[in-house]
């Protein structure tokens, strides 16, 4: 009787471990869904890097910092933008849904070179 109880408990544990493993696998898959992280510095009056490569359908995670003054990054072709505040990391996530070459620009006035402050996003198929 004791042995039977023990076995049943063991089987129960194995099932629990299998369930936990399955759940862990699902979480891992979600976390590792295709994504590309790019750190971009917005400084007077350029984005570094000025060229960002992405892939259509792949989540793009942009982490902006601005060491000098408040900036903005506007990807008008994709309808997304973010404010970049000195001392903080501004994260902008989106999934480019079309391929091509697009311009993004600073949309927060930051000084004499503001109007020319832009970068290029290349989205590959
Ligand atoms: Cu600006």
- CA 27 – ligand 1 centroid, Å: 39
pTM value is: 0.74
pLDDT digits (tens, 9 = 90+) for 42-67: 999 999 999 999 999 999 999 999 99
**Domain locations in the chain as residue ranges:** 1-32, 35-124
Helix (H, G, I), strand (E, B) or coil at 37: strand
* Ligand 1 midpoint to CA 112 (Å): 9
CA 85 to chain centre: 18
Q: How many C-beta neighbours within 10 Å does residue 73 have? A: 25
CATH architecture of 35-124: Sandwich (2.60)
3-state SS, residue 109:
coil
Give me the chain's average pLDDT, please.
83
Q: Exposed/middle/buried for 14, CB within 10 Å: 0-12, 13-18, 19+? A: exposed
> For position 65, what pLDDT does the model report?
98
Query: What does the alpha-carbon distance between residue 35 and residue 29 come to, in Å, rounded to a whole number?
Result: 12
70 Cα–ligand 1 center, Å: 8
Centroid of ligand 1 to alpha carbon of 73 (angstroms): 8
- Per DSSP, the three-state class of 4 is helix
Q: Is the peptide bond before 49 cis (omega within 30 degrees of 0)?
A: yes
For the segment 5-28, what is each residue's pLDDT rounded down to a tens digit? 444 444 444 444 444 444 444 444
């Amino acid at each position: 009787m004791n042995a039977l109880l023990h076995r049943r408990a063991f089987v129960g544990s194995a099932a629990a471990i299998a369930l936990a493993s399955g759940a862990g696998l699902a979480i891992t898959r979600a976390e590792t869904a295709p994504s590309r992280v790019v750190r971009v510095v917005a400084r007077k009056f350029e984005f570094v890097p000025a060229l960002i490569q992405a892939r259509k359908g792949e989540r793009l995670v942009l982490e902006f910092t601005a060491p000098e003054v408040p900036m903005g990054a506007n990807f008008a072709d994709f309808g997304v933008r973010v404010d970049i505040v000195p001392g903080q990391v501004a994260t902008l996530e989106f999934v480019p849904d079309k391929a091509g070459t697009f311009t993004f620009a600073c949309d927060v006035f930051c000084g004499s070179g503001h109007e020319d402050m832009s970068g290029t996003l290349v989205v590959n198929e």
